[in-house]
Amino acid sequence: MPHRRTAVVVAAAVCLGLAAGPLSAPAFASPTARGPVASAQRTGGPDAVALRAALAGLPDGDATAALVRVGGTDGAWRGSAGVHDLHSGRAADPDARFRAGSTTKVVTAAVVLQLAAEGRVDLEAPVQRYLPGLLTPAFEPVSVRQLLNHTSGIQAGDGFGDSFEDAYAHRFDTLTPRQVVASAVAKGPEFRPGSRQEYLNINYTVLGMLIEKVTGHSYAHEAERRILRPAGMRHTYFPGTDPRIRGPHNHGYQAVPKGDGTTEFVDVTDWNQADRWAAGDMVSTTADLERLITRLFRGDLVPGPQLEEMFTVPAGIEGADMSAGLQRFEYGGTVYWLKSGARYGYSTAVAATRDLSRTLVYSVNSTDAKGESMNPVAQRIAMAALRQPEPAGRADREPAKERGSR
pLDDT-derived band at 34, boundaries 50, 70, 90: very low
The pLDDT of residue 37 is 55
pLDDT-derived band at 38, boundaries 50, 70, 90: low
Rounded to 5 degrees, φ, ψ at 279 are -95, -15
Domain annotation covers residue 3 = no
The pLDDT of residue 259 is 86
Domain annotation covers residue 382 = yes
Whether pLDDT at 396 is above 60: no
Domain annotation covers residue 89 = yes
Whether pLDDT at 405 is above 80: no
The pLDDT of residue 249 is 98
The least confident of 34-43, 45-54, 81-90, 146-155 is 34-43
pLDDT (mean) for 75-90 = 97
The least confident of 30-44, 165-179, 263-277 is 30-44
The tally of CA atoms less than 13 A away on the side-chain side of residue 324 is 26
Instruction: Specify the CATH number for the domain of residue 99.
Output: 3.40.710.10
Domain annotation covers residue 5 = no
CA-CA distance, 71 to 357, in Å (whole number)? 8
Domain annotation covers residue 242 = no
Percent of the chain at pLDDT > 90 equals 80
Domain annotation covers residue 244 = no
Domain annotation covers residue 136 = yes
Percent of the chain at pLDDT > 70 equals 84
Contact between 93 and 363 under an 8 Å Cβ cutoff? The reply is: no
Strand pairing partners for 334?
331
pLDDT (mean) for 345-353 = 98
Whole-model pTM? Answer: 0.87
CA-CA distance, 26 to 165, in Å (whole number)? 21
pLDDT-derived band at 45, boundaries 50, 70, 90: confident
Q: 54: how many CB neighbours lie within 10 A of its CB?
A: 26
Higher per-residue pLDDT: 405 or 180: 180
Whether pLDDT at 293 is above 50: yes
pLDDT (mean) for 229-243 = 98
Residue 403 CA to its chain's centroid (Å): 11
pLDDT (mean) for 101-106 = 98
In terms of residue numbers, what domain contains 198?
Answer: 10-236+250-402
CA-CA distance, 373 to 171, in Å (whole number)? 24
CA-CA distance, 146 to 300, in Å (whole number)? 24
Q: Quick: pLDDT tens for 183-210.
A: 999 999 999 999 999 999 999 999 999 9
The residues near 130 (Cβ < 8 Å, ≥ 6 apart) are 121, 144, 210, 213, 214
pLDDT-derived band at 386, boundaries 50, 70, 90: confident
Residue 313 CA to its chain's centroid (Å): 20
The pLDDT of residue 76 is 96
pLDDT (mean) for 50-72 = 97
pLDDT-derived band at 258, boundaries 50, 70, 90: confident
pLDDT (mean) for 303-321 = 97
Domain annotation covers residue 372 = yes
Mean per-residue pLDDT over the chain, rounded? 87
Q: Domain count for the chain, please give it.
A: 1
